[in-house]
Amino acid sequence: MLFNSIDFAVFLPIIFILYWFVANKNLKVQNFLIVAASYLFYGWWDWRFLSLILFSTVVDYAVGLRLAKEEVLSRRKVLLAISVLVNLGFLGFFKYYNFFLDNFVTAFTFFGGEIKANSLNIILPVGISFYTFQTLSYTIDVYKRQLEPTRDFVAFAAFVSFFPQLVAGPIERATRLLPQFYTHRTFDYQNAADGMRQVLWGLFKKVVIADNCAEYVNLIFNNSADYSGSTLVLGALFFTFQIYCDFSGYSDIAIGISRLFGFKLMKNFAFPYFSRDIAEFWRRWHISLSTWFRDYLYIPLGGSRGGTSMKVRNTFIIFIVSGFWHGANWTFIVWGALNAIYFLPLLLLKRNRKNLGIVAEGRFFPDIKEIVAMGTTFSLTVLAWIFFRAENLTHAFAYLGEIFSFSTFAIPTVLPMKLFLMLSVFILIEWLGREGEYAIEKLGLAWRRPLRWGFYYAIVMAIALFGGNQQTFIYFQF
């Protein structure tokens, strides 16, 4: 069920009414309603994959209970291994089986052998990368004794399957989200109104910006051999805004909807394209995944505490694994490795935590140094996104080759002026709201009511009049 669909527009008010007007006096009934709504929401795509979520929920719930009673370290490790193998086993089979099979056959053939192996027609369950990491956070934290295991199966099932963020995050930690299912929730009008503003802005980013960019991205990338380097630059720029508005738009909608039901999810994007270096970009982009890898992979590997060789190793591991998490294609691995190359000089020179604040905080205009830093970081990011969007490495290098040719100085053959205007308005609003949780959190709150409501109405009209053709959220494929 898509957030930007008629189905969801009917689904959400029904669940909201049942939640606050029927089940509001009983916490367990509210949690059970969330589980039922979440399974309906997910099963709308393919009900068969509900069994995966249920099995993973049962396994991790049982492992958590057993870990609470087990004191022998070796047995605790076995229990943790069961959870990891079950969760990553499902993820590995559905997402990576054909990738490893195809590369094994290619390598075998390269060394003169011959092997016949047939790929499987595997359908990737929507959101499996997200809820897998969410459930893993529970068993890992229970194993590390950072979290008491729950005996409330309904609350745990609601944590695993919570429909606003089930299929594309944010990837919540059990230590943060699970306790919220134990607490009685009361309706807060101001919180709900703020949530609706965030939903509105998320829909604008997805429907008006991302979906309109998608039409030109698909046109240019799918026919890249027919276009000049200047047009390919525009294609890369449009994809840069498409993936940001598509993914952060989903996160805004998910966080806003959660607030309607009395839950607080973590911030997943913090205006990453205003970053002044790559380290700052990765602190602001897909924060829930970046911090997950930091806490459960990078730090256990030794983090930045060792010598230079360990720092280099750990940096490449974290970025390559992050790239591979996104998809079973060498393009994602190269994308991750390229970001590691961007990041390493900052780490080795101990400048990776230089830009911790908000750019031009308290000022409208950034200074020249900030403009150059943002422009450089943004340009590097755009180049990396080409690998992310390309069909394969051959396509990516051909695309880059044309960009770095003399045809980049030609006049682009694709010049969507309406889209340029939309992007200009969007960037301005994001810049004005960069100190908030989301761009329009505070924008307009001090205005007179007619002007403030006129602003919201303008966003609604923009969604209705200028929304592009409906596109599936990009991160559903991950």
For residue range 133-143, list pLDDT tens digits in order.
999 999 999 99
The stretches in the chain having pLDDT less than 70 are: 100, 102-121, 476, 478
- Which one from 184, 286, 326, 395 is the annotated catalytic residue? 326
Please state the three-class secondary structure of the chain as a single string.
CCCCCHHHHHHHHHHHHHHHHHCCCCHHHHHHHHHHHHHHHHHCCCHHHHHHHHHHHHHHHHHHHHHHHCCCHHHHHHHHHHHHHHHHHHHHHHHHHHHHHHHHHHHHHHCCCCCCCCCCCCCCCCCHHHHHHHHHHHHHHHHCCCCCCCCCHHHHHHHHHCHHHCCCCCCCCHHHHHHHHCCCCCCCHHHHHHHHHHHHHHHHHHHHHHHHHHHHHHHHHHCHHHCCHHHHHHHHHHHHHHHHHHHHHHHHHHHHHHHHCCCCCCCCCCCHHHCCCHHHHHHHCCHHHHHHHHHHHHCCCCCCCCCHHHHHHHHHHHHHHHHHHHCCCHHHHHHHHHHHHHHHHHHHCCCCCCCCCCCCCCCCCCCHHHHHHHHHHHHHHHHHHHHHHCCCHHHHHHHHHHHCCHHHHCCCCCCCHHHHHHHHHHHHHHHHCCCCCCCCCCCCCCCCHHHHHHHHHHHHHHHHHHCCCCCCCHHHHC
Q: pTM of whole model > 0.85?
A: yes
pLDDT score, position 114: 63
Q: Is 395 a catalytic residue?
A: no
For residue range 151-190, list pLDDT tens digits in order.
999 999 999 999 999 988 799 999 999 999 999 999 999 9
